[in-house]
Amino acid sequence: MSSKGKILVAMSGGVDSSVAAGLLQREGYEVTGVTLKLWGGPSDTGCCSVSDVTDARRVADSLGIEHHVFNFGDEFEDHVVGPYVRSHAEGLTPNPCIECNRHLKFDKLIRRAKALGFNLIATGHHARIVEFNNGLCIARGADFSKDQSYVLHMLDQGQLQQLKLPLGEMTKTEVRKIAASLDLRVADKPDSQDVCFISNVKGSRKKFLEQRIDLTPAKVLDKNQRIVGEVESIEMVTIGQRKGLGLSGQGAPKYAIEVDAEKATVTVGEKPDLYCSTTEIKDLNWIDAPYPNTVEVQTSAHGRTASATVTSSVEWIEPHRKVAPGQSLVFYDGDLVVGSAIAG
């Protein structure tokens, strides 16, 4: 069988990317696997760990394909870890996985692949690439519970033309069955956590941040700007947070409704105060022309969508929970990703 061409598959050591490599090989592509070594710090867990590199290499061996490791550690520090820390210092809530996709997996990796003679790359993301007007766009994967279109919203036309997403039409159960049929050792491997450079151990995020920045105590204010408490570090507080504010047992539950890093204050309110009719945005981007009609807006990787119209801000059709500044808002028309912005 003649080869469909050379393709570089990003293999994280998990079941999804392993099956992606196996499927593309079965389709007739000349597959080479690559694992990105991004983080080697003390919280070396998730999709960047040494054990995951080993798992990816063993899967490649079982498939009979070449496997390489690209060390993008410096770029990961510059484009993901550094901005993550600075965002917390500024009172923002960052999306490190999105920035990793934006700068490394679908920029640096594509450029490296082209330099090595690969016309295509592939990943194991649960999303689809579909035709849209005169180009392409990202669409939700068939398995809604595993859909990862939210974290791929930034892909441009050039990147989409060079990308394959073999799992887009599959459920996770089907992926694991294929892994078992291919006798892959990772068939039952659990999914990795989201933030690969911070472990799941309680207190790890605080420990990580305090090693890089000075954490700032902050006053906790009520809606009338009266001091009602104090938190150890404003960098650890995000909009909507309830725990860790030191206000338990003081009447109705209180939530952080505003975080002001410059003034070192956290304003709290009750649950109705968490809702708003408008969300200010920046970095608005449409895949094609701006949508004059209602879109569905997703504000977190696995969150539910809500209807809104989008101009220079997001106007919610019904009151919506406040979105933490720094979070990505992704706009959908049905299953199609049609635009995005960042909460300001």
Known catalytic residues are 100, 196
Residue 200: CB partners within 8 Å, gap ≥ 6? 45, 193
- The phi-psi region of residue 91 (left if phi > 0; otherwise alpha if psi is between -120 and 50; otherwise beta) is left
Q: Bridge-partner residues for 157, per DSSP? A: none
Strands (E), the chain: 6-10, 30-37, 66-71, 120-122, 127-132, 135-140, 163-164, 218-221, 227-231, 255-260, 265-269, 275-286, 295-298, 305-310, 313-321, 328-333, 336-343
| Continuous H helices in the chain | 15-27, 50-63, 73-76, 82-89, 96-100, 109-115, 157-161, 172-181, 204-210
Tokens encoding 282: 């920046």
